[in-house]
Amino acid sequence: MTVSSDGQDRAPDDKDTPKTPSDRATTFQAVTGEPEHYSGEKLLVAAYAIVWVVVLAWVAFVWRKQRAMTGRLDALEAEIARAGAARAKADGTHGAS
């Protein structure tokens, strides 16, 4: 459908519509238009750069959390060792009496 100057929808002219397959163009006709805004190579490099930044940020985040968890685990082990030593000392004094 096309729109005429008076705003009415009209069917395209019959002379513009191919009637048979042999009426269609069989050769390549380049379409002229505005050039590409971005090259594919630049977009690909930018996409890979973004992916690498995200991956490296995630690895840094996980590494930081792991370091904090290791510190908490070391503190817990030290507290368990202190509690075990205090219990052994308390059991030793009560056992000697």
In-domain check, residue 72: yes
pLDDT at 22 over 60: yes
pLDDT at 76 over 80: yes
In-domain check, residue 94: yes
In-domain check, residue 84: yes
For residues 65-73, give the mean pLDDT.
97
What pairs with residue 10 in β-bridges? 2
In-domain check, residue 74: yes
In-domain check, residue 81: yes
Residue 48 CA, distance from chain mean position: 11
Contacts of 4 (CB under 8 A, 6+ apart): 10
Distance CA 83, CA 79 (A): 6
